Chains A and B, each alone.
Chain A
Amino acid sequence: QVRLQESGPGLVKPSETLSLTCGVSNFFINSGYFWGWVRQPPGKGLEWIGSVYQTGSAYYNPSLESRVIISIDTSNNRFSLDLRSVTAADTAVYYCAKATIIYTGNYYFDSWGQGTLVAVSS
Protein backbone atom coordinates (compact mmCIF):
# COMPACT_ATOMS: atom_id res chain seq x y z
CA GLN A 1 0.00 0.00 0.00
CA VAL A 2 1.37 3.39 -0.99
CA ARG A 3 2.58 5.60 1.85
CA LEU A 4 3.21 9.32 1.60
CA GLN A 5 5.06 11.40 4.16
CA GLU A 6 5.48 15.16 4.17
CA SER A 7 8.68 16.68 5.53
CA GLY A 8 9.98 20.19 5.94
CA PRO A 9 10.19 23.09 8.38
CA GLY A 10 7.18 23.85 10.53
CA LEU A 11 7.97 27.55 10.69
CA VAL A 12 8.81 29.90 7.84
CA LYS A 13 9.44 33.64 8.02
CA PRO A 14 7.33 36.05 5.98
CA SER A 15 8.69 36.75 2.49
CA GLU A 16 10.74 33.57 2.51
CA THR A 17 10.15 30.31 0.64
CA LEU A 18 8.15 27.43 2.05
CA SER A 19 9.67 24.15 0.92
CA LEU A 20 8.17 20.73 1.55
CA THR A 21 9.02 17.28 0.28
CA CYS A 22 6.76 14.26 0.00
CA GLY A 23 8.45 10.89 0.24
CA VAL A 24 6.60 8.04 -1.43
CA SER A 25 6.98 4.47 -0.21
CA ASN A 26 5.76 1.12 -1.56
CA PHE A 27 4.95 2.67 -4.93
CA PHE A 28 6.93 3.85 -7.92
CA ILE A 29 6.37 7.54 -8.47
CA ASN A 30 6.84 7.10 -12.23
CA SER A 31 3.93 4.69 -12.66
CA GLY A 32 1.60 6.98 -14.56
CA TYR A 33 -0.07 8.97 -11.80
CA PHE A 34 -0.37 12.58 -10.79
CA TRP A 35 1.11 13.72 -7.49
CA GLY A 36 -0.25 16.78 -5.76
CA TRP A 37 -0.35 19.19 -2.89
CA VAL A 38 -3.43 20.35 -1.00
CA ARG A 39 -3.58 22.71 1.95
CA GLN A 40 -6.03 23.74 4.63
CA PRO A 41 -5.57 27.09 6.39
CA PRO A 42 -6.87 27.21 9.96
CA GLY A 43 -10.66 27.42 9.99
CA LYS A 44 -10.92 27.20 6.21
CA GLY A 45 -11.53 24.57 3.58
CA LEU A 46 -9.28 22.39 1.46
CA GLU A 47 -7.43 24.17 -1.34
CA TRP A 48 -5.81 22.47 -4.32
CA ILE A 49 -2.31 23.87 -4.77
CA GLY A 50 -1.19 21.91 -7.78
CA SER A 51 -0.34 18.57 -9.32
CA VAL A 52 2.68 17.17 -11.15
CA TYR A 53 2.96 14.25 -13.55
CA GLN A 54 5.90 11.87 -13.72
CA THR A 55 7.25 13.77 -16.73
CA GLY A 56 7.56 16.89 -14.62
CA SER A 57 4.62 18.67 -16.21
CA ALA A 58 2.84 20.59 -13.47
CA TYR A 59 -0.53 22.24 -13.13
CA TYR A 60 -1.19 24.96 -10.58
CA ASN A 61 -4.04 26.75 -8.85
CA PRO A 62 -4.30 30.07 -10.70
CA SER A 63 -4.39 31.95 -7.40
CA LEU A 64 -0.96 30.55 -6.44
CA GLU A 65 0.65 30.01 -9.81
CA SER A 66 2.93 33.03 -9.68
CA ARG A 67 4.55 31.79 -6.45
CA VAL A 68 4.54 28.00 -6.61
CA ILE A 69 6.68 25.30 -8.14
CA ILE A 70 5.97 21.59 -7.81
CA SER A 71 8.72 19.29 -8.95
CA ILE A 72 9.23 15.56 -9.09
CA ASP A 73 12.36 13.52 -8.35
CA THR A 74 11.85 10.07 -9.80
CA SER A 75 15.35 8.94 -8.79
CA ASN A 76 14.49 9.37 -5.13
CA ASN A 77 10.77 8.62 -5.43
CA ARG A 78 9.62 11.94 -4.06
CA PHE A 79 8.10 15.23 -5.11
CA SER A 80 8.36 18.72 -3.70
CA LEU A 81 6.55 21.99 -3.17
CA ASP A 82 8.18 25.42 -3.18
CA LEU A 83 5.99 28.41 -2.34
CA ARG A 84 7.74 31.76 -2.58
CA SER A 85 7.12 35.05 -0.81
CA VAL A 86 4.94 33.59 1.89
CA THR A 87 2.69 35.59 4.19
CA ALA A 88 0.62 34.68 7.22
CA ALA A 89 -2.16 33.69 4.82
CA ASP A 90 -0.01 30.72 3.77
CA THR A 91 -0.15 29.25 7.25
CA ALA A 92 -1.88 25.90 6.79
CA VAL A 93 -1.74 22.15 7.08
CA TYR A 94 -0.13 20.96 3.87
CA TYR A 95 -0.98 17.53 2.48
CA CYS A 96 0.71 15.61 -0.27
CA ALA A 97 -1.34 13.09 -2.19
CA LYS A 98 -1.32 10.58 -5.01
CA ALA A 99 -3.86 11.06 -7.79
CA THR A 100 -5.35 8.44 -10.10
CA ILE A 101 -6.21 9.43 -13.65
CA ILE A 102 -9.36 7.79 -14.95
CA TYR A 103 -10.38 6.97 -18.52
CA THR A 104 -11.93 10.41 -19.12
CA GLY A 105 -8.75 12.23 -18.14
CA ASN A 106 -10.29 13.37 -14.87
CA TYR A 107 -8.21 12.63 -11.80
CA TYR A 108 -8.70 12.44 -8.07
CA PHE A 109 -6.59 12.03 -4.96
CA ASP A 110 -6.83 8.50 -3.61
CA SER A 111 -3.98 8.35 -1.10
CA TRP A 112 -2.85 11.08 1.25
CA GLY A 113 -0.08 11.90 3.65
CA GLN A 114 -1.01 12.77 7.20
CA GLY A 115 -0.34 16.46 6.64
CA THR A 116 2.13 18.86 8.15
CA LEU A 117 1.41 22.21 9.75
CA VAL A 118 3.47 25.08 8.43
CA ALA A 119 3.23 28.42 10.20
CA VAL A 120 4.40 31.65 8.64
CA SER A 121 5.62 33.99 11.33
CA SER A 122 8.59 36.14 12.21
Chain B
Amino acid sequence: SYELTQPTSVSVSPGQTARITCSGDALPERFAFWYQHKSGQAPVLVIYEDSKRPSVIPERFSGSRSGTMATLTISGAQVEDEADYYCFSADSSEEHSGVFGGGTKLTVL
Protein backbone atom coordinates (compact mmCIF):
# COMPACT_ATOMS: atom_id res chain seq x y z
CA SER B 1 0.00 0.00 0.00
CA TYR B 2 0.99 3.63 -0.40
CA GLU B 3 1.34 6.49 2.03
CA LEU B 4 1.17 10.23 1.61
CA THR B 5 2.58 12.43 4.37
CA GLN B 6 1.42 15.96 5.12
CA PRO B 7 2.21 18.39 7.93
CA THR B 8 -0.49 18.42 10.59
CA SER B 9 -0.95 22.16 10.51
CA VAL B 10 0.08 25.33 8.71
CA SER B 11 -0.67 28.82 9.96
CA VAL B 12 -0.41 32.11 8.09
CA SER B 13 -1.74 35.64 8.39
CA PRO B 14 -4.25 36.92 5.83
CA GLY B 15 -2.48 37.92 2.62
CA GLN B 16 0.51 35.69 3.25
CA THR B 17 1.45 32.66 1.18
CA ALA B 18 0.57 29.25 2.56
CA ARG B 19 2.40 26.16 1.35
CA ILE B 20 1.22 22.66 2.16
CA THR B 21 3.39 19.72 1.21
CA CYS B 22 2.56 16.11 0.45
CA SER B 23 5.30 13.52 0.20
CA GLY B 24 5.13 9.93 -0.98
CA ASP B 25 7.28 7.40 -2.76
CA ALA B 26 4.64 6.84 -5.44
CA LEU B 27 4.40 10.50 -6.45
CA PRO B 28 7.14 10.41 -9.10
CA GLU B 29 4.88 8.03 -11.05
CA ARG B 30 1.50 9.44 -10.16
CA PHE B 31 -0.29 12.75 -10.13
CA ALA B 32 -1.32 14.45 -6.90
CA PHE B 33 -4.78 15.88 -6.38
CA TRP B 34 -5.75 18.34 -3.66
CA TYR B 35 -9.02 18.73 -1.77
CA GLN B 36 -10.27 21.47 0.52
CA HIS B 37 -12.54 20.18 3.26
CA LYS B 38 -14.60 22.32 5.57
CA SER B 39 -16.58 20.88 8.47
CA GLY B 40 -20.02 19.64 7.50
CA GLN B 41 -19.39 19.96 3.78
CA ALA B 42 -18.28 17.64 1.04
CA PRO B 43 -14.62 17.91 0.00
CA VAL B 44 -13.89 20.28 -2.89
CA LEU B 45 -11.25 19.60 -5.53
CA VAL B 46 -8.90 22.59 -5.70
CA ILE B 47 -6.02 21.18 -7.77
CA TYR B 48 -5.89 18.21 -10.15
CA GLU B 49 -3.04 16.58 -12.07
CA ASP B 50 -0.49 18.28 -9.78
CA SER B 51 -1.04 21.83 -10.99
CA LYS B 52 -4.32 22.30 -12.82
CA ARG B 53 -7.03 24.39 -11.24
CA PRO B 54 -10.76 23.86 -11.77
CA SER B 55 -12.38 26.95 -13.26
CA VAL B 56 -14.39 27.64 -10.10
CA ILE B 57 -11.32 27.74 -7.87
CA PRO B 58 -9.66 31.13 -7.25
CA GLU B 59 -6.36 31.83 -9.01
CA ARG B 60 -4.55 32.11 -5.69
CA PHE B 61 -4.57 28.30 -5.50
CA SER B 62 -1.74 26.58 -7.35
CA GLY B 63 0.08 23.28 -7.23
CA SER B 64 3.37 21.74 -8.19
CA ARG B 65 5.20 18.43 -7.94
CA SER B 66 8.87 17.58 -7.87
CA GLY B 67 10.13 14.08 -7.23
CA THR B 68 8.42 12.60 -4.22
CA MET B 69 6.82 15.85 -3.08
CA ALA B 70 3.75 17.75 -4.20
CA THR B 71 2.99 21.24 -2.94
CA LEU B 72 -0.24 23.19 -2.69
CA THR B 73 0.34 26.94 -2.61
CA ILE B 74 -2.22 29.53 -1.65
CA SER B 75 -0.87 32.95 -2.60
CA GLY B 76 -2.45 35.68 -0.54
CA ALA B 77 -4.44 33.37 1.71
CA GLN B 78 -7.87 34.60 2.76
CA VAL B 79 -9.78 33.92 5.95
CA GLU B 80 -12.24 31.84 3.95
CA ASP B 81 -9.41 29.52 2.90
CA GLU B 82 -9.16 28.21 6.45
CA ALA B 83 -9.93 24.52 6.13
CA ASP B 84 -8.41 21.06 6.10
CA TYR B 85 -6.49 20.21 2.94
CA TYR B 86 -5.82 16.69 1.71
CA CYS B 87 -3.67 15.33 -1.07
CA PHE B 88 -4.86 12.20 -2.85
CA SER B 89 -3.44 9.73 -5.31
CA ALA B 90 -4.84 6.64 -6.99
CA ASP B 91 -4.20 4.51 -10.05
CA SER B 92 -6.75 2.37 -11.84
CA SER B 93 -4.16 -0.30 -12.65
CA GLU B 94 -3.20 -0.87 -9.03
CA GLU B 95 -5.59 -2.60 -6.70
CA HIS B 96 -4.67 -0.93 -3.42
CA SER B 97 -3.43 2.39 -4.67
CA GLY B 98 -6.02 4.86 -3.44
CA VAL B 99 -4.68 6.97 -0.60
CA PHE B 100 -5.28 10.31 1.09
CA GLY B 101 -2.64 12.20 2.96
CA GLY B 102 -3.30 12.68 6.65
CA GLY B 103 -4.59 16.19 6.09
CA THR B 104 -3.28 19.65 6.96
CA LYS B 105 -5.25 22.14 9.02
CA LEU B 106 -4.71 25.58 7.50
CA THR B 107 -5.29 28.43 9.89
CA VAL B 108 -5.52 31.94 8.46
CA LEU B 109 -5.45 34.32 11.37
Contacts and interface: CB of A to CB of B under 8 A. Distances in A.
B90 A48 contact: yes
B45 A108 contact: yes
Interface string A1-42: 000000000000000000000000000000000101010000
Interface in B1-60: 1, 30-31, 33, 35, 37, 41-43, 45, 48-49
Contacts of B95: 59-60
A61 B31 contact: no
Interface stretch (A73-81, A82-90, A97-105): A97-105
Nearest to B92: A105
Residue among A36, A61, A101, A106 having the largest count of chain B Cβ atoms under 10 Å: A106
Given A95-B43, A107-B91, 18 more contacts: A45-B84, A45-B101, A45-B102, A46-B37, A47-B100, A48-B88, A48-B90, A48-B98, A51-B98, A60-B95, A61-B96, A62-B96, A104-B31, A106-B31, A107-B92, A109-B43, A109-B45, A110-B48
What 8 A-B pairs have minimum CB-CB distances, sorted nearest first?
Answer: A45-B103, A112-B42, A48-B98, A108-B33, A46-B100, A62-B1, A105-B92, A62-B96
Interface of B: 1, 30-31, 33, 35, 37, 41-43, 45, 48-49, 84, 86, 88-103
